[in-house]
Structure 1
Amino acid sequence: MSPSPAEDLDLLVAAAVEAGALALELRARGLKVAWKEGNSPVTNADFATDTLLKTTFGRARPDYGWLSEETADDLERLHRRRVFVVDPIDGTRAYMKDRPWWVISAAVVEDGQPVAGVVYAPQVGEVYTAVAGGGAKLNGSLITPARTERLEGCGMVGDERMFTHPSWPEPWPAMRVESRNSTAYRMCLVASGQFDAALALVSKSDWDLAAADLIAREAGAYCGDHLGRGYTYNALRPAQASLVCAAPRLAPLILDRVRHIALPD
């Protein structure tokens, strides 16, 4: 009998906490930093936590596939019904600079949809979790998004320069716009009502989104692309066109402002 999503979640959480401790230990020793294409940093801790998670999950669930930012893509995953989708350190720049907004993100995706997910932020002691149909939790307590109904004055996680760009047909109203390095953490902040929405009009990889997508939707938030489409994971190209994660009453207002934008699939 296959493990249940709840059993998979227990595995995800235990491994994420272990990976977080390893990341903190390695940073305290001093990091080795390299740069990937696109001027994106990667550290020895990214690789070490990736290895820890891949080894742990592979031993426990040898029949599951694997997709991670720091592992060469093995297309064998396309033939597995269940796949681990992992970002061993999401928010590496924050991690390198000893800022708290980085996480370990891990999900189990079944038939293209996440069924269990954890986003663990070690420096702030926050463990966000969800299983399909079971609601979303922060440190064991159920969470819900905000009930915000207006863009004016809302809390938005994103790039302030995007909102003030002169090309918008209708200028955005005054909002509290703040940045967080980790995409998954931004989404969890929306899921828990600490912010009202997160918007990114650029492509996001599956490992950026899968765990937090489940957490946000189970909490009751909208999560999908700027055209109002939900996500399907573990495709040949494991990426999504854009990100809109918002309180349910705010999401239609955001989608009305962005659905005209043509982005590559």
Structure 2
Amino acid sequence: MDTTLDLTAEYEFACQVAREAATIVTTFYVGSSEVEYKSHDEPVTEADRSANQHIVTRIAEMFPDDGLLSEESKDDLSRLDKRRVWIVDPLDGTKEFIARNGEFSIM
């Protein structure tokens, strides 16, 4: 019995959405981005929020039955009842993004 799970469509979708989010983040990187703090040492920027909104919206549209956990969104514990959960960090390396050193990614 073949138990291989084919996630090709999900992989291609995730790559496309990451590229779209990268375009959003890049507009802030070459321009300016307001910085706020979630806590003492946890910055969040407009780039974080804009990329998050885009990614969360796209996942919800394409996979409405899936759960979602994102660093920049309020946690919805109903995700624990879902068959599958997407885990998102729309701008991993916010401090590096602010420092403009290129050491950040979309996950």
Scaled by the length of structure 2, what TM-score is found?
0.91
Q: Separation in 2 of the partners of 1:21 and 1:48?
A: 11
After TM superposition, which residue ranges in structure 1, 4 or more long, deviate above 6 angstroms? none
| Counterpart position of 1:42 | 44
Residue 29 of structure 1 and its aligned partner are, at CA, apart by 2.7
Within 5 Å, which residues of 2 pair with 1:170-209? Answer: none
Question: Which protein shows a greater Rg?
Answer: 1
Question: 1:100 and 1:27, CA in 2 relative to 1: closer, same or farther beyond 3 A?
Answer: closer
Q: Pick 1 or 2: higher relative contact order, CA cutoff 8 A, min separation 6.
A: 2
| Counterpart position of 1:28 | 30
More helix by share: 2
Structure 2 stretches lacking a partner, 5+ long: none
CA deviation digits over 1:151-210, x for unaligned, max 9? xxxxxxxxxxxxxxxxxxxxxxxxxxxxxxxxxxxxxxxxxxxxxxxxxxxxxxxxxxxx
More off after superposition, 45-54 vs 35-44: 35-44
SS of the aligned residue for 2:95 comes to helix
Within 5 Å, which residues of 2 pair with 1:24-173? Answer: 24-105=26-107
Q: Separation in 2 of the partners of 1:77 and 1:7?
A: 21
Residue 99 of structure 1 and its aligned partner are, at CA, apart by 1.0
Residue type of the alignment partner of 1:91: G
Q: Separation in 2 of the partners of 1:51 and 1:65?
A: 15
Q: Separation in 2 of the partners of 1:96 and 1:58?
A: 29
SS of the aligned residue for 1:25 comes to helix
Structure 1 stretches lacking a partner, 5+ long: 106-265
Q: Separation in 2 of the partners of 1:29 and 1:102?
A: 16
Q: Separation in 1 of the partners of 2:28 and 2:96?
A: 15
| Counterpart position of 1:5 | 7
CA deviation digits over 1:120-177, x for unaligned, max 9? xxxxxxxxxxxxxxxxxxxxxxxxxxxxxxxxxxxxxxxxxxxxxxxxxxxxxxxxxx
Q: Separation in 1 of the partners of 2:28 and 2:6?
A: 33
More strand by share: 1
Residue 76 of structure 1 and its aligned partner are, at CA, apart by 0.8
Q: Separation in 2 of the partners of 1:20 and 1:99?
A: 16
SS of the aligned residue for 1:34 comes to strand
Q: Separation in 2 of the partners of 1:57 and 1:7?
A: 12
Report sequence identity in percent. Answer: 32
Q: Separation in 2 of the partners of 1:55 and 1:15?
A: 10
Q: Separation in 1 of the partners of 2:39 and 2:87?
A: 21
CA deviation digits over 1:7-52, x for unaligned, max 9? 1110100000110111010232311100112411100110000000
Residue 4 of structure 1 and its aligned partner are, at CA, apart by 3.4
Scaled by the length of structure 1, what TM-score is found?
0.38
